[in-house]
Structure 1
């Protein structure tokens, strides 16, 4: 039976996309007063659901889709996009209890999934359905709701970092490699020396990008442009280059293209650079200049793609180092030999508040212990700054601090104040 030239099967297959899309649009109109805050969160939630869904599809054996002209990543695009809208955007735009949405997702799937044309279900597909809800629907609900409410900052930062990493470093390369008749094996199918060089290059590119994510979190923001920090960030990698995340992500894509020989990945690299230079940079410059007057002065000194050799430090920072501890004093002298920019070293004994570790501070906060030392390194040169960024990464910082404490650089009660020893900003 045909209706307007489509069979009932075709109508149902397209309804998987059309029904969620219509519902999202209806709810968007009904809640248009809140759309400015809900739309960006809805995009994040839908992208989370879509990427997670395709990731599960690559590694599951509970069901199988038949061949179709619209297949992408093993699924018809209308099905994957419809699922992403239903599990991502719709709950964010409509609101309501998260558990009710989760129960609703499960009920609709149980009723309708067997009706999807070309989908062959295995005997234990319910296990796959439960896994799909756990790794697709739950993260989408969480990231959407936290972004709307701007709560749980570090959870948002972590989820967004995982999402954008999965999108640009797994999904995009996976689809490009598949279209070129290649696979992930081609990325690593090299001699040991070549693999070692590729891995080293990947780490060199990834560390500044990850450190930039942490720096945005320190300022109350996330990597997502519509979930920005509360102030202009000019510390960390941003003291050397204006777009450390884009630079790192594009560099990693280029590395994947080089190692795999994928022509489509090279196209993606060219597109990423062109998009950033032609469109994104103009929008960013206009938006950030309006938001923060100091942005113009910052961009006059810091480039988008070519890092500085020494950092741009708009306001002096202070490093409090003990002068009664020989090892601490030697550490401070070592830093002085590197001629840090905009850093004033002062005796911790003269601090107006009790200090038990080396402490770095600027106008926005403090870091203590080994992270303070890393901060000071970041104000020297690009090479030492990279070391500092790596030292401050979550997980790495905690392990290094344990090692430093064991080596005698742990917390200590300082002796009464000696004359203040200052090394002014350079």
Structure 2
């Protein structure tokens, strides 16, 4: 057996055997299964990205005779994915810094021994450091947090990054014929590329917002083995039961149509069949067993795949606006004229919260949210069109930038609790009332 073949076998067989042996010593549990799945997915997606960058910057290269995906040799990629997942499981209780040093030293010793399978350039240590910091450490933390069900927001953020790499890059790369086909996408006219980007971003934002709602209200993540502690019925879930699955199908469907790619259309079909068949049946049984009447009632109100135009709201929420502020009271009137479902407009001056300085959204089942996020959440109570605007506005980074703009150019945030106000400040004019009544009648 020549050296190249021996390396190709050893580089994935030994890590796989190590992970298997490690799992044999552990008691089977949902958190363990979730941690292993997430660890493998994270390391696979992130290591692929690092290797593609390394090839472009010539940090290292691979033997031309070995099977490759996106020009990355499959055996080293799979082997390192399994190895780092196994190390993350082994190091669940240990400090991050010592484990980082240990893995770094292991790579320093092992990488030069992989020639001719992996050919290192003089600058390969730059790629190694980037891999450790951007792939290994986040993967280690994701596995640890999933095992112990801690740091919900952080592990959800890593799951969203992982899902984005898989759905928006890896799967389309397979459909487009790996890396070279992306050149044809980026060479499209600017206007066409912009339209495609927006059409893909809308369902992607739906998925992100649904995942965040899952964590905020259900204290769980989208992974079936890391489920929420309650039925989530707010946000995107007040319009459709499967917003994350719908998001995935729409991403592939839109991409397949605008690029006229049969593989992406096939991916959309497979995702829909799986989601509407086996996954929905399995989740339906589990959710009924766990939540019984609550799930049955929600299931009867909201469709699985076709969104409602108006939300299904079981418990009303409140939008607190300052009646003594002209701009804020106009926001209250704007919402009232649009007849929101399950949203009450109340005077912020009546609040006992001395820290209330911005428009505040008080949901029936979670923490209050202020400022731009509050407006975004309130938009979900009008109809699907405004809800989509709200989901875009509530997206991380977008919401922070929007809040900065409002703080610079809008009214100065100030405490209003206990201030006098005009009780009619947010009243709807009679003609508006008649318009709403007429619309309801029709």
TM-score, with length taken from structure 1: 0.89
The unaligned stretches of length 5 or more in structure 2 are 429-439
Residue 76 of structure 1 pairs with residue 73 of structure 2: yes
Q: Decide whether the 8 Å contact of 2:18 with 2:86 is kept in 1.
A: no
Which residue in the other structure is 1:356 paired with?
Answer: 357
Give how far 1:422 is off. 9.1
Corresponding residue SS for 1:25: helix
Q: For the residues of structure 1 that align with 2:38 and 2:173, how far apart are their CA atoms?
A: 20
Residue 58 of structure 1 pairs with residue 52 of structure 2: yes
Which residue in the other structure is 1:107 paired with?
Answer: 105
Q: For the residues of structure 1 that align with 2:153 and 2:225, how far apart are their CA atoms?
A: 16
Q: Decide whether the 8 Å contact of 1:186 with 1:259 is kept in 2.
A: no
Q: For the residues of structure 2 that align with 1:197 and 1:13, how far apart are their CA atoms?
A: 44
Which residue in the other structure is 1:27 paired with?
Answer: 22
Q: Decide whether the 8 Å contact of 1:232 with 1:292 is kept in 2.
A: yes
Corresponding residue SS for 1:310: coil
Q: For the residues of structure 2 that align with 1:19 and 1:266, how far apart are their CA atoms?
A: 38
1:257-290 Cα deviation digits (max 9, x unpaired) = 3343433222222211111111211122122222
Q: Decide whether the 8 Å contact of 1:31 with 1:93 is kept in 2.
A: no
Which residue in the other structure is 1:92 paired with?
Answer: 89
The aligned length equals: 417
Q: For the residues of structure 1 that align with 2:69 and 2:271, how far apart are their CA atoms?
A: 21
Which residue in the other structure is 2:282 paired with?
Answer: 283
Q: Decide whether the 8 Å contact of 2:31 with 2:149 is kept in 1.
A: no
Q: For the residues of structure 1 that align with 2:400 and 2:263, how far apart are their CA atoms?
A: 40
Which residue in the other structure is 2:378 paired with?
Answer: 376
Residue 253 of structure 1 pairs with residue 252 of structure 2: yes
Which residue in the other structure is 2:138 paired with?
Answer: 139
Q: 1:404 to 1:46 in 2, by over 3 A?
A: same
Q: 1:417 to 1:291 in 2, by over 3 A?
A: farther
Q: Decide whether the 8 Å contact of 1:310 with 1:380 is kept in 2.
A: yes
Q: For the residues of structure 2 that align with 1:402 and 1:193, how far apart are their CA atoms?
A: 29
Residue 13 of structure 1 pairs with residue 8 of structure 2: yes
Q: For the residues of structure 2 that align with 1:171 and 1:254, how far apart are their CA atoms?
A: 16
Corresponding residue SS for 1:32: coil
Q: 1:71 to 1:350 in 2, by over 3 A?
A: same
Q: Decide whether the 8 Å contact of 1:53 with 1:80 is kept in 2.
A: yes
Select which of 38, 44, 48 maps to 2:38.
Answer: 44
Q: 1:329 to 1:28 in 2, by over 3 A?
A: same
TM-score, with length taken from structure 2: 0.86
Q: Decide whether the 8 Å contact of 1:20 with 1:90 is kept in 2.
A: no
Q: For the residues of structure 1 that align with 2:379 and 2:105, how far apart are their CA atoms?
A: 55
Give how far 1:8 is off. 5.7
Provide the aligned C-alpha RMSD in A.
2.6
Q: For the residues of structure 2 that align with 1:124 and 1:407, how far apart are their CA atoms?
A: 50
Q: For the residues of structure 1 that align with 2:255 and 2:79, how far apart are their CA atoms?
A: 30
Stretch of structure 1 that moved more, 56-65 or 222-231: 222-231
Give how far 1:311 is off. 0.3
Give how far 1:44 is off. 1.0
The unaligned stretches of length 5 or more in structure 1 are none
Corresponding residue SS for 2:275: helix
